[in-house]
Amino acid sequence: MDLSILTEDLLRRIMGFADDGAVLIHRVVSHQIRFSGNKIDIGKTWRETSISLMMDKDKKVNILNLSYPGVKNIDEVLEAAKKTLEKSQPRPIYAELPDPPPSYPSIGDKVDKRILDRPDLLADVAKVSIDEALVSGARRVSGAVRGNYVEIYLATSKANTVLSDSYTNVYLDVRAFVDGEDSGHASQLARNIDGLDPERLGREAGETAKLSTKTVSVDPGRYDTVATPNAAAALVNLVGNSASGFYVLMGRSFFRDRLGDDVAYEGLTINDNPHSPLSRIPRSFDDEAMPTRKNTIIKEGRLTTYLHNRFTAKVFDADLTGNAGWIMPSAWHLEVSPGDMSRDELVEELDHGFILNNVTYIRFQNHIKGDFSGVIRDGLFYVENGEIKGAVKGLRFSDNMPRILNNIVGIGKDVENIFHWWIRLDVTTPSLLIKDCGYTKAFGL
């Protein structure tokens, strides 16, 4: 079925009993190549269509999701949704769907059809990474390449047309091993296949794994740290999450009551920019049919905006920012503005410190204060007087996000576009030099 026609038809049905409504349909075709033990071991293809429906009545809101086959039972689904809406309580804070603008931004070429039609090219990417990692010192290499083609259809009761968008993205994730826990990791996201650099990723993962074989013992404590782009991206993700007006209202943001304050190093600027040629989700409109735009979250250390949908904008008496999800607003693609130091120059600043290559499984002990800890993987290297002495095992990264943001003292000039299995948002970032970071002993060691 033509999904544009289906979108329009579902909205018409919703408006038979609702004051306001919206329909959002995603169709995704994904090709994945997985590799382990130095060879490609599986190739998979997914074709998924998901349908989301929203209906407002007397300041009550009901949202439901169904898979494409569920359309066969749409009459029963909508009847149940209508009854649920009637029994619901009005929202204490309500705002109507916004009126759409006359036009939307043009983002440029967003589709690489080879990602959809030539999965064999993804296999070639995997082979290059495997070979380069082995040449660089790894004994075992694993990872995945995944390419996605996405179509989106949106209709709201305030718009007079069905909006549509399409884009592709592809990302490569490489892990290299020598012995046991001696591992290295590298990842990259691109809009098209040509944007990937599988040789560099394989080389970085292999070299990191090889470097991890020489270990030194270092006590837990506070150390100046160079966070490489993989580690920096994990930390910047936390900034994107905390900038959501929803998380601020829910008490899950270390930016609560900080709007307009200096919250970070004065040299730090972080943008949310779906229009970037590197964005994984280059949307021209959000889920409320408002145009997306570049938003500066932190400008030269100052928190300049929260990200909003219609409900959070109403609470904060703020403008819509083009970040709407129906339940909560969120960032699209985070960018850290580059500095003027090379990575080598950042490392040379370490008298007694660490190079942190990756941090995963980050958990907050206190969202408002920003206290958290995370698992260190794929290389933590101790540095004395700018020279790497060896890898360190058995430590966790345990700190506080407001302190980290204020303790940044250097920003690299060479950016990388990072997305991998752990982080939710893709991030373009250089390495960051952060003073006085906390490291604790890992549980059970």
**What is the average pLDDT across 97-122?**
94
Give the CATH number, domain containing residue 80. 3.30.2290.10
CA distance 168 to 277: 11
Same domain, 203 and 319: no
CB 202 within 8 Å of CB 209 = no
Q: In this predicted model, what pLDDT tens digit does every residue of 125-148 receive, in sequence order? A: 999 999 999 999 999 999 999 999
Same domain, 264 and 408: yes
- pLDDT at site 443: 67
- pLDDT at site 420: 84
Of 159, 180, 207, which residue sits at a domain end?
207
Q: In this predicted model, what pLDDT tens digit does every residue of 248-276 receive, in sequence order? A: 999 999 999 999 999 999 999 999 999 99
pLDDT band at 377 (very low <50, low <70, confident <90, very high): confident
Same domain, 63 and 148: yes
Q: In this predicted model, what pLDDT tens digit does every residue of 198-224 receive, in sequence order? A: 999 999 999 999 999 999 999 999 999
Same domain, 11 and 145: yes
Same domain, 284 and 404: yes
- pLDDT at site 124: 97
Q: What is the mean pLDDT of the chain?
A: 96
CA distances in angstroms from 130 to 37, 183, 305, listed in the order given = 9, 14, 43
CB 176 within 8 Å of CB 30 = no
- Determine phi and psi for 245, rounding to 5 degrees: -60, -30
Same domain, 378 and 300: yes
Same domain, 40 and 76: yes
**What is the average pLDDT across 149-168?**
95
- Counting the structural domains of the chain, the total is 2
**What is the average pLDDT across 359-378?**
95
Same domain, 181 and 231: no
- pLDDT at site 396: 97
Of 207, 224, 240, which residue sits at a domain end?
207
Of 207, 224, 246, which residue sits at a domain end?
207
The pTM (predicted TM-score) of the whole model is 0.96
Which range, of 57-66, 179-188, 200-209, 311-320, averages the lowest pLDDT?
179-188
- pLDDT at site 444: 54
Same domain, 177 and 224: no
CA distance 62 to 84: 8
* pLDDT greater at residue 28 or residue 109: 28
Same domain, 189 and 234: no
Q: In this predicted model, what pLDDT tens digit does every residue of 288-303 receive, in sequence order? A: 999 999 999 999 999 9
pLDDT band at 58 (very low <50, low <70, confident <90, very high): very high
- pLDDT at site 375: 95
pLDDT band at 431 (very low <50, low <70, confident <90, very high): very high
Same domain, 236 and 383: yes
> What does the H/E/C string look like for the chain?
CCHHHHHHHHHHHHCCCCCEEEEEEEEEEEEEEEEECCEEEEEEEEEEEEEEEEEEECCEEEEEEEEHHHHHHHHHHHHHHHHHHHHCCCCCCCCCCCCCCCCCCCCCCCCCHHHHHCHHHHHHHHHHHHHHHHHCCCCEEEEEEEEEEEEEEEEECCCCCCEEEEEEEEEEEEEEECCCCCEEEEEEEECCHHHCCHHHHHHHHHHHHHHCCCECCCCCEEEEEEECHHHHHHHHHHHHHHCEHHHHHCCCCCCCCCCCCECCCCCCCEEECCCCCCCCCCCCECCCCCECCCEEEEECCEECCCECCHHHHHHHCCCCCCCCCCCCCCCCEEEECCCCECHHHHHHCCCEEEEECCEEEEEEEECCCCEEEEEECCCEEEEECCEEEEECCCEEEEEEHHHHHHCEEEEECCCEEECCCCCCCEEEECCEEEEEEEEEECCCC
The parent domain of residue 376 ranges over 214-441
Same domain, 187 and 203: yes
